[in-house]
Amino acid sequence: MKSEKLKLFNDYNLYCITAEALSKGRKNIEVVEKMLKSGVKIIQYREKKKTLREKLLECEKIRQMTLDYGCIFIINDNIEIAKMVLADGVHIGQDDYPLERVREFLGDDFIIGISTHSREQLHDAHKRGADYIGVGPIFKTFTKEDVCDPVGYEYLDIAVSESKIPFVSIGGIKEDNLEEVLKRGAKCVAMVSEIVASEDIEGKIKAIMDKLSYWRDKSANSKGLC
């Protein structure tokens, strides 16, 4: 059920995103397999330069793999492919189809996430019925073309206090600055280059997940004390 899946977005999880060009010669399927074996629970397929046919074939495989591991599968931009492979959701940008139209096309059971870069876009995404929002880029990133300047902690703090739906922090987040972001209230973090460009993807994910687990436990304990 969608509401069960969305709980993962509020529970100190790592949201991994593919980028074959940065993956040091490894294919997306190989990288996704490493993510799944390492226990990642949310994966987004994001490829800007491949043909629709190539994307569809990869997404069909990843759909099966993610089902086998009980992992949420989100597809960036390509709403038709998301429908064809029965992904769990899509992630769209501000310049993609209007969210209401994407909802009409995919139905209520699909998770729809949208990138936001300002308070105004955050509230707009709420009004339009997004299930979660991307909040970024928190730090400078070289992964996304034409991305705006970092929104920094200013917008992250706004998302922490004003978002009524789960949000995923993104942009330049690394193992080394992860805890700064968690300390400010983020509960789901997306990473591209830090994971896919790592020589040791499993080791990198483990180190990140250890930090996330520490914060998950800390948050559970502090709630227990209330």
**Which ranges constitute the DSSP H helices of the chain?**
2-7, 28-37, 52-69, 79-84, 99-106, 119-128, 152-162, 178-183, 193-196, 201-225
Q: Cβ 125 to ligand 3NM, closest distance in Å?
A: 12
216 is in an annotated binding site: no
| Annotated active-site residue in 41, 46, 55, 204 | 46
Residue 177 among known ligand-binding residues: no
Which positions ≥6 away from 150 have C-beta within 8 Å?
A: 136, 137, 138, 139, 140, 141, 171, 172
Comparing CB distances to ligand 3NM, the nearer of 115 and 163 is: 115
Task: Map residue 113 onto helix, strand or coil.
Answer: strand
Provide the b/e sequence for 30-53 (b: ≥16 CB within 10 Å): ebbbbbbebebbbbbbbbeeeeee
115 as an active site residue: the answer is yes
Binding site for ligand 3NM (CB under 6 A): 115, 134, 136-137, 141, 143-144, 147, 170-173, 191-194
172 is in an annotated binding site: yes
C-beta closer to ligand 3NM: residue 25 or 70: 25
Provide the minimum distance between the beta carbon of 192 and ligand 3NM in the complex, in angstroms, as a whole number: 3
Distances (CA, A) of 59 to 67, 74, 80, 179, 214: 12, 10, 11, 32, 32
Question: Given 144, 163, 169, 198, which residue is catalytic?
Answer: 144
Q: How far apart, in whole angstroms, are the C-alpha atoms of residue 198 and residue 152? A: 24
76 is in an annotated binding site: yes
The minimum distance between CB 137 and ligand 3NM, in angstroms, equals 4
Task: Report whether 9 belongs to an annotated binding site.
Answer: no
- Residue with smaller CB distance to ligand 3NM, 19 or 106: 19
* Active-site option among 115, 163, 169, 198: 115
Q: Residue 207 or 220: which CB sits closer to ligand 3NM?
A: 207
Catalytic status, residue 118: no
- Smallest gap, in angstroms, from Cβ of residue 2 to ligand 3NM? 22
CB 89 within 8 A of CB 111: yes
Cβ contacts of 25 within 8 Å, gap of 6 or more: none
Whether 46 sits among the annotated catalytic residues: the reply is yes
Which amino acids are annotated as binding site, given as ranges?
44-48, 76-77, 96, 115, 141-144, 172, 192-193
Q: Which residues are catalytic?
A: 46, 115, 144
